[in-house]
Structure 1
Amino acid sequence: MIRFGYKASAEQFAPAELLGYSVLAEELGFDSVFVSDHLQPWRHDGGHAPAALPWLGALAARTERVLIGTSVLTPTFRYHPAVVAQAFATLGMLAPGRVVLGVGSGESLNEVPLGLAWPDGKERFARLKESVQLIQKLWREDRVSYDGQFYRTENATIYDKPETPVPIYIGASGPAATRLAGRIADGFITTSGKGHELYTETLLPAVREGAEKAGRKLDDLDLMIEVKVSFDADLERARNDTHYWGALALSPEEKTGVEDPLEMQRRADALPVARTMTRWICSADPDEHCDRVQEYLDMGFKHLVFHAPGPDQERFLRLYADQILPNLRAAA
């Protein structure tokens, strides 16, 4: 089953405005809505950071059909895994069969400002693995006493939970966490614009390897990718819209250790449009745009969630629903 979703840009829009766009996405035929969970946005001026958990509750109440979830939430530092288990069990009861918990190992931008220590990648990976396993255990069992390396519970019970557990998707851009997704998760999340070989030679083979080690097939998982798209009849507008999201074009070396949105904004705004647009499919031609998006379907991804950088999200949603989605569905 191929699905096409909408990325609700929580870092760019105020909560009520973002909710309106997400409801419109359902009305226009998108299959899913995924929201990020940031304590602080990528930029200070004009930035937003609504709390994902209450926002998803509002979205569940305002929609009837779309799949909703986080892309991604970090269940390891400012949230205890048991709190995440409780919250998503509740969401799963409010919108049965429509909720996904997307998780990742986190970004220092969201944790360090709270005075939390930011460990190395090895520990963050270990925490992510343990937190997912604890969440799954809390959904399966009652009175869970757990004594792990990082987390503990004593006779903990999630009293209100859906009959079918909420699926967990693991977001990753490296092989270790990707293999973990294949072993223990229901889906895999990554982002576009990082080079064809990363997906075909590293990430997707790693998901397959993890799945096979757990006695599963790759088809058992939802393979989801956030596709960065800037589509408009005015090509210059499509390109210039990407400048707001300049932080995505910073190299890991340029943004590692930056926990202040003001500093992240300064570094991102210093980039020319010629560089910020490299992470996006920028196009004014529907056929050419569909061909470039189709590449991700050809790789094997089954769930494409479209993230548009422009300030006029209604314009994007209507253009995409009219000129792009029908062609993608026909091809799929």
Structure 2
Amino acid sequence: MRYGYKASAEQFSPAELLDLVQLAERVGLDSAFISDHLQPWRHEGGHAPNAVAWLGMALERTSSIVLGTSVLTPTLRYHPAVVAQQFATLGQVHPGRLILGVGTGEALNEQAIGVEFPELKERFARLRESVRLIRQLWAEERVDFEGEYYATHGATIYDRPDPADAGARIPIYVAGGGPATTRYAARFADGHICTSGKGDEYYRDTIVANLEEGLEKAGRASAEVDRMIEIKVSYDRDADAALEHTRFWGALSLTQEQKHAVHDPIEMQRLADELPIEQVARRWIVGSDASAVAGAIAHYVDLGFTHLVLHGPGHDQRRFLEQLSEDVLPLLPR
């Protein structure tokens, strides 16, 4: 089992996040993940540092914690060859400490700079093609690639991971909540990323079942794919504070249909603020009883997940990490 920390780029400045990821390492967490947002979920109090630039700084300020994106979209704002170069550069200096988490994207991050945001079918096709190109660029000296969406002509990533050195390899995790992306992750990726709070039936029948189907079709062992889940947990020794902390993240309780076409943080904030706190909190494990909170987190282990990344919603993340490490982490399965 591995336990990680969600470095909430949408809520904290780059400097604050650097302090927090160092604290996450000190309290014993194994990993930390940052989302690559051009714009945050909220206009007021929101932040959106560049994830790749921040990863370089965070790697320099830590020594052992594994760092990654959850997620970056290597298909619209970025050409996949540029992503391949960025992560190869970071991996040269910090081998074995990077994960490239990728996904199909959000309108919020693309349309602000005039990028057309296609339907999911095309976004998923772009994602598959980009992953294939990134891996080819990491593996081969000169790459001529002619895809439906991307092309390279004699391209070389000169400082790429050494294919013969397993320790220098950069794993690729694929984020997705539907059957197709989940099966794809099981067949071709090193890990799968999803989020908590959607009910046991969804995780058993959509996530785990499709992971198993994809693994079987690919002839891969279960251990070859890390089953990562971001768990929304608002733990505080003050029960009222634990509930109130969730309010900043009201946008996560909007439906996919509500969020899909929204590309303005001000509008996203307006929609989220209309939700009652009880609805916002439904997506979260909320409580002040360490044993109960630990049990709710551990339930995801029972469902089959192997890498639990804990996302605390409050503004005082130092308080969250310290209370979590003192009260909850010792109660979790290892």
Q: In which range does the TM-score fall when normalised by the shorter chain? A: over 0.9
Query: 1:172 touches 1:178 (CA, 8 Å); kept in 2?
Result: yes
Name the SS for the 2:299 alignment partner: helix
Q: For residues 171 and 156 of structure 2, what CA distance do their matches in structure 1 show?
A: 19
Deviation at 1:165, TM superposition (A): 2.4
Amino acid at match of 1:107: E
1:320 aligns with 2:318: no
- Displacement of 1:162: 2.5
The separation in 1 between residues aligned to 2:31 and 2:278, in whole angstroms, is 31
| CA deviation profile, 1:233-253 (whole Å, cap 9, x unmatched) | 111111111010000001122
- The residue number in structure 1 matching 2:165 is none
- 1:223-302 correspondence runs (5 A): 223-302=227-306
Deviations 1:182-232 (A, max 9, x none): 111000000000111111111111112112222201211111000000001
Corresponding letter in the other structure for 1:16? A
Contact 2:59 2:94 in 1 (8 A): yes
- Selected match of 1:166 from 167, 170, 173: 170
Could you list the per-position Cα deviations for residues 275-318 of structure 1 after superposition, in whole angstroms to 9, with x for gaps in the alignment? Answer: 10001000100111111111100011010000000000000000
Partners of 2:34 and 2:110 in 1: how far apart? 18
Quote the residue 2:41 is aligned against.
42
Match in the other structure for 1:311: 315
Aligned pairs for 1:68-147 (under 5 A) are: 68-147=67-146
For each residue in 1:139-174, what CA deviation from the matched residue of structure 2 results, as whole angstroms up to 9, or x when unmatched?
Answer: 110110000000000000010022232000000100
Per-residue displacement from partner, 1:3-37 (whole Å, max 9, x unpaired)?
A: 00000000000100111001110011110010000
Give me the whole-angstrom Cα distance separating, in 1, the residues matched to 2:172 and 2:259. 28
Question: Quick one: distance in 1 between partners of 2:157 and 2:257?
Answer: 41
Q: Which ranges of structure 1 fall in alignment gaps of 5 or more residues?
A: none
User: In 1, are the aligned partners of 2:14 and 2:49 still within 8 Å (CA)?
Assistant: yes
Q: Which amino acid in 1 is paired with 2:310?
A: F
Are the counterparts in 2 of residues 92 and 98 from structure 1 also a CA contact under 8 Å?
yes
CA distance in 1 between partners of 2:233 and 2:90 (Å): 29
The one-letter amino acid of 1:85's match is: A
Query: Aligned AA for 1:116?
Result: V
Structure 2 counterpart SS, 1:324: helix
Q: Distance in 2 between matches of 1:102 and 1:245?
A: 21
SS in 1 for 2:286: strand
**1:214 correspondence with 2:213:** no
Q: Return structure 1 stretches of 4+ with deviation > 4 angstroms.
A: none
Taking the aligned partners of 1:311 and 1:90, their CA distance within structure 2 comes to: 33
Q: Note if contact 2:106-2:260 (Cα within 8 Å) is conserved in structure 1.
A: no
Aligned mates of 1:152, 1:256 — CA distance in 2? 28
Q: What's the secondary structure of 2:37's corresponding residue? A: coil
- TM-score (norm: length of structure 2): 0.97
CA distance in 1, matches of 2:199, 2:123: 25
The one-letter code sitting in structure 2 at the alignment partner of 1:225 is I
Distance 1:92 1:209 in 2: 32
Q: Is the 8 A contact 2:95 2:169 kept in 1?
A: no
Give the Cα separation in 1 of the matches to 2:216 and 2:144. Answer: 30
2:4 matches 1:26: no
Which residue of structure 2 lines up, in the alignment, with residue 152 of structure 1?
A: 151
8 Å contact from structure 1 (residues 208, 217) kept in 2: no
Runs of 5+ in structure 2 lacking a partner? 163-167
Equivalenced residues, count: 329
Aligned to 1:7: 6
2:55 and 2:155 mapped to 1: Cα distance?
24
Name the Cα RMSD after superposition. 0.8
Deviations 1:29-56 (A, max 9, x none): 1100100000000010110000001100
In 2: Cα distance, 1:141 partner to 1:129 partner? 18
Give the TM-score taking structure 1 as reference length: 0.98
